[in-house]
């Protein structure tokens, strides 16, 4: 199954009041595994950049003025998204900005039925816990040391790892390992391995039957028990 994990950076919080999307980063997953395919673009918002927003993502108007308008790359973005489900952290926010930009270019909005919100997934899995991307990276041991400021592609890459963990990443890994083992068995015959042993040699079974001496000691021990339950 193909899915796209994405993140946006904006000039503010509300597209209805004139805030614009200035960056988008998308990461492709197939069967919850990153393929290496990404889409990343900056956009000229044709407006000022509030200081508060710039402090979050570090994108200045001086930097963005030379970037294309959203309309110039919209078709390329939509081709990359295809019909895949779209995964985002607080997805309603990112969908709102993406659909607002599409509306400005007279393109159809992306249906929210395709939306997967990792905050909702995290809330169900970890009720009462912190749900920020940073907090989830810490919980799952995902390295975010290179995340100095918010960046759409970097955050999408981190979120892809979080999403895999939220949806059973370790179990998926076990399923892939089992599938590989089955393929190897079909190609080369069955292989028997002992967990934790690098050479894969089969350990000889240990004897488990009691010896005559052990049975006699057990009989003598039982005779010493007064009124055993199993004889009542």
Sheet holding 21-30, edge to edge: 33-42, 21-30, 2-10, 86-88, 115-117
Asked if the structure places residue 178 within a domain, the reply is no
For the residues 176-203, what does the mean pLDDT come to?
A: 43
Q: How many domains does the chain have?
A: 1
If phi > 0 it is left, if psi is from -120 to 50 it is alpha, else beta; for residue 150 that is beta
Q: Of the given ranges (67-71, 73-77, 169-173), which has the lowest mean pLDDT? A: 169-173
Asked if the structure places residue 207 within a domain, the reply is no
Asked if the structure places residue 212 within a domain, the reply is no
Asked if the structure places residue 230 within a domain, the reply is no
Asked if the structure places residue 119 within a domain, the reply is yes
Asked if the structure places residue 64 within a domain, the reply is yes
Token couple for 67 = 């970037």
pLDDT digits (tens, 9 = 90+) for 144-180: 887 766 789 999 999 999 999 999 875 444 444 444 4
pLDDT digits (tens, 9 = 90+) for 109-137: 999 999 999 999 999 999 999 999 999 99
pLDDT digits (tens, 9 = 90+) for 134-143: 999 999 999 9
Q: Answer yes or no: is pLDDT of 61 > 60.
A: yes
**Distance separating alpha carbons of residues 35 and 33, to the nearest angstrom:** 6
**Distance separating alpha carbons of residues 137 and 184, to the nearest angstrom:** 34
Q: Is 105:69 a contact under the CB 8 Å cutoff?
A: no
- Which pLDDT does position 179 carry in this prediction? 47
Asked if the structure places residue 179 within a domain, the reply is no
**Mean pLDDT, rounded, of the chain:** 85
Q: pLDDT-based confidence at 43, cuts 50/70/90?
A: very high
Q: Answer yes or no: is pLDDT of 188 > 70.
A: no
- Which pLDDT does position 181 carry in this prediction? 45
57, 150, 188, 218: the catalytic one is 150
pTM: 0.72
**Distance separating alpha carbons of residues 169 and 181, to the nearest angstrom:** 19
The answer to whether residue 89 is catalytic is: no
For the residues 50-63, what does the mean pLDDT come to?
A: 95
| Structural domain boundaries enclosing 145 | 2-173
Q: pLDDT-based confidence at 205, cuts 50/70/90?
A: low
Asked if the structure places residue 50 within a domain, the reply is yes
**Percent above pLDDT 70 for the chain:** 80
What is the CATH number for 15? 3.30.420.10
The closest of 85, 77, 89 to 24, measured between CA atoms, is 77
């Amino acid at each position: 199954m193909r899915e796209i994990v994405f993140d946006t950076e904006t000039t503010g919080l509300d597209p209805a009041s004139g805030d614009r999307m200035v960056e988008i980063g998308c990461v492709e997953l197939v069967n919850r595994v990153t393929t290496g395919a990404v889409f990343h673009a900056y956009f000229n918002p044709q407006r000022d950049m509030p200081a508060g927003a710039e402090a979050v993502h570090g994108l200045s108007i001086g930097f963005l003025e030379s970037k294309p308008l959203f309309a110039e790359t919209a078709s390329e973005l939509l081709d990359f998204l295809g019909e895949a489900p779209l995964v985002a952290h607080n997805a309603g926010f990112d969908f709102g900005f993406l659909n607002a930009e599409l509306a400005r270019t007279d393109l159809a909005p992306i249906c929210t039925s395709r939306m997967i919100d990792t905050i909702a997934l995290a809330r169900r899995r970890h009720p009462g816990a912190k749900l920020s991307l940073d907090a989830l990276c810490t919980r799952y041991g995902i390295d975010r040391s290179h995340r100095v400021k918010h960046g759409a592609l970097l955050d999408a890459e981190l979120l892809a790892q979080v999403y895999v963990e939220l949806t059973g990443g370790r179990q998926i890994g076990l399923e892939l390992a089992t599938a590989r083992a089955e393929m190897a068995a079909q190609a080369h015959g069955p292989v028997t391995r002992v967990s934790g042993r690098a050479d894969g040699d089969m350990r000889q079974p240990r004897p488990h039957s009691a010896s005559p001496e052990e049975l006699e000691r057990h009989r003598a021990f039982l005779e010493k028990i007064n009124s055993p339950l199993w004889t009542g």
